[in-house]
Structure 1
Amino acid sequence: MAGVPLRVCLFSGASSLPIRIADHLGLLSEAGLAAELHLTRGSRELVEGLAAGRYDVVHAAPDNFIEWSDRTGADIVSWIGGTSGPLHLIGSPELAGLADLAGRGIAVDSPDSGFVSILMKIVRAGGLAAEDVSLVPLGSTQLRYEALMAGRTAATMLALPWSAMALEAGFSLLGDRDQVLPGMQGSSGASLRTWLAAHPDTADSYLKALCAAITWLNHPANLEDANRYICETYGTSPALADAVHRSIMDPRTGWSPSAFIDPAGMDMVCRLRSENGRPPDRPATSYYTLEPYRRVFGFGLGPCAGEPPEDVEGA
């Protein structure tokens, strides 16, 4: 019997590893889903596709969803977690520090993408002002990595595996998100609120499949197979594949076992937007929901974000 259609859009970086493993191992099919995974070349393409109904679930930095919701009125809600790191500002080998970026161009996905808020936090922490650098839109992390390797940009924000590959090639580490924004929700899965409300069973099946993939990735017996998949998918060395695997599955900065979206991490995303002069239109709790977790796991979560607590009898 054919599965329930599900269209998922994501970036090709290692932060999407559990999603791609869920597809690779057939876990999405086992969950009753006929999933199509689409790799995007940029955040604008991804979010526009979600708003237009071309995708059901998208994975990216939650700042992208807040920006798009506030600017266009599209009711986008994050409901799956992801990683909170690592994310690095990597520069050309001749750059000794952040001060050397003054007057240089930094490649970004788009000027209003989620990584830009983090980039400007790193720039300010290094003693530079926003006007000291210029932003050059180039698209996805892979495209920016290729531009950095070819000398077409002085620096860019890179996630795994490209950050590790660039450092291995002798490029300079200029900044680390975890140093300036520890615990921030770095990536999330989101849908239109109307789709999520209309398809709870599909959402729950997807969440269960991702949790099964995370469990598989965390099991020591699967380490060799997981690292082989990383090598084949991203073209890394075995040693680098192992480092990528350990980082993405790190319980502090990687995927949690339940793919949980962290309310404190989402609050930090909103506070960073305010710090950068782009305060969100609504409270942080309106941009995410814990409802799928309450349905799937049920215990200890209490009311969903944004919901009033239920009346306690006798209170």
Structure 2
Amino acid sequence: MIRITRRLLLGTSAAALAAPGIASAQATTLKVKVFPGLANLPLFAGQHTGAFERRGLNIVIENTPNSDVLRNGLAAGDHQLVVAGVDNAVAMAEAGHDIGILIGGDSAFNAFYVKPEIQNWAGLRGRTLIVDAPNTAYALVAYKMLAMNGLPRGSYEIRPTGGTFARYELMFNDPTAHASMLNPPFSLQAEDRGLRRLSTVTEAVGPYLGNAGWAMRAWAAANRDVVHRYLQGYIEGIRWMLAPANTDAVTALLADRLRIPAPLARRNLALLTAPETGSAIDGRFDLQGFRTVLAVRAEVLGSWGGTPPAPDRYLDLGYWERAVASL
């Protein structure tokens, strides 16, 4: 089986990932920080089809090793945009950073996986759950899923180890790594290699907004036209990747960019194109799913006194509305 390599996922080549044919002096370069995986297909599609290039943008995709690098780098201006688990945006806001969520995405298709010898939830008592960061995103959902199945915090160990790729590797190479949340393509590869899936996020908590895009509000306000063109290209990428007529081309692109076999790429694409549960049309923001994100954070961490706030404080969707209207 062809597997994703650390060299591919933890580093990035600007020359390879930038939209071709744009001289840096003629285009605005935007750095977009991401976790490796399926969620980046709109960016890949926008590059591949020239949707960004036609708008004078040179998009450089940078893979992050963990949430801290992603969040801290955005706040420091090391990169201008993020596409990742939206709870990271909430965490940034709660840490005092003025972020604005610009566009929606998908549920992230995360699921809870265990080593094959663990038969059920009860088998995790006293075992180790490996997470990216212990207080954001899918770690919080994992705690809730465990609690729903009789395992409160304290009945298992928690070990931060970094992003999905690092956890995927540890699930096979570290005998003390017993459970982890995984997202595609790693989750599908994990199943092929024998890991046991106990539940998906949406099976456990219902509608859930996984991935979204955001930026610092001050940067977006100072670069309105750039944000507008970026969102136009991003939405055009979504439309291309979801069009049934493009299935073969999208499969080939996904296989190339994630370095996975075509059959596996097709299985991943099927997740994104599923009518009810796939990627949001035009990146429309899933408000119900975002309310679930806030509710899980409030319940698990006790944030906001246990009562989730109104979502509007985190949203800056006017940029998206204008971009969609212009296409």
Fold shared per TM-score above 0.5: yes
Shift of 1:293: 2.4
Paired residue for 2:184?
Answer: 160
Is the 1:92–1:151 contact (alpha carbons within 8 Å) kept by the matching residues of 2?
A: no
Does residue 296 of the first structure (1) align with residue 319 of the second (2)? Answer: no
For residues 217 and 100 of structure 1, the distance between their equivalents in structure 2, rounded to whole angstroms, comes to: 40
* Residue 210 (structure 2) aligns with: 186
Aligned: 1:171 with 2:195: yes
SS in 2 for 1:184: coil
Question: Which of 264-273 and 159-168 deviates more?
Answer: 264-273
Q: Would you say the 8 A contact 1:19–1:213 is kept in 2?
A: yes
Give the counterpart letter for 2:211 in structure 1: S
**1:1-315 superposed matches below 5 A:** 2-71=26-95, 73-152=96-175, 153-280=177-304, 282-298=309-325
Residue by residue, what CA displacement relative to the aligned partner does 1:94-138 show, whole Å, maximum 9, x if unpaired? 111111111111111111221111111211122211111111111
1:194-243 deviations in Å (ceiling 9; x for gaps): 11111121111111111111111122232112112222333433322111
Cα distance in 2 for residues equivalent to 1:32 and 1:118: 39
Which AA in structure 2 matches 1:169?
Answer: R
- Runs (5+) with no aligned partner, structure 1: 300-315
Partner AA of 2:234 in structure 1: L
CA distance in 2, matches of 1:132, 1:63: 24
More moved, 160-169 vs 126-135:
126-135
State the 4+ residue runs in structure 1 displaced beyond 3 angstroms: none
Check the 8 A contact 1:227/1:245 in 2, yes or no. Answer: yes
The alpha carbon displacement at 1:253 in A equals: 2.6
Between the aligned partners of 1:11 and 1:202, the Cα distance in structure 2 is 23
Specify the code of the residue in structure 1 equivalent to 2:178: A
Q: Which residue of 1 aligns with 2:7?
A: none
Letter in 2 for 1:64: N
Distance 1:217 1:177 in 2: 24
Shift of 1:24: 3.1
- TM-score, normalised to structure 2, is 0.86
Q: How many angstroms does 1:298 deviate by?
A: 4.1
CA distance in 2, matches of 1:183, 1:172: 23
One-letter identity of the residue aligned with 2:220: L
AA partner of residue 293 (structure 1): W
State the 1:16 CA deviation.
1.5
Which residues of structure 2 form unaligned runs of 5+?
A: 1-24
8 A contact 1:88–1:174 mirrored in 2: yes
> d(CA) in 1 for partners of 2:91 and 2:240?
34
Matched-pair contact (CA < 8 Å) for 1:14–1:160: yes
| Contact kept in structure 2, 1:76 and 1:191, CA below 8 Å | yes
Tell me, what secondary structure is at the counterpart of 1:149?
Answer: helix
Counterparts of 1:66 and 1:182, CA distance in 2 = 19
C-alpha displacement at 1:5, in angstroms?
Answer: 2.5
Among all aligned residue pairs of Structure 1 and Structure 2, give the percentage whose two residues are the same amino acid: 28
Q: How much is the aligned-residue C-alpha RMSD, in angstroms? A: 1.8
Distance in 2, matches of 1:29 and 1:187, equals 24
CA distance in 2, matches of 1:74, 1:36: 23
Paired residues of 1:122 and 1:176 also in contact (CA < 8 A): no
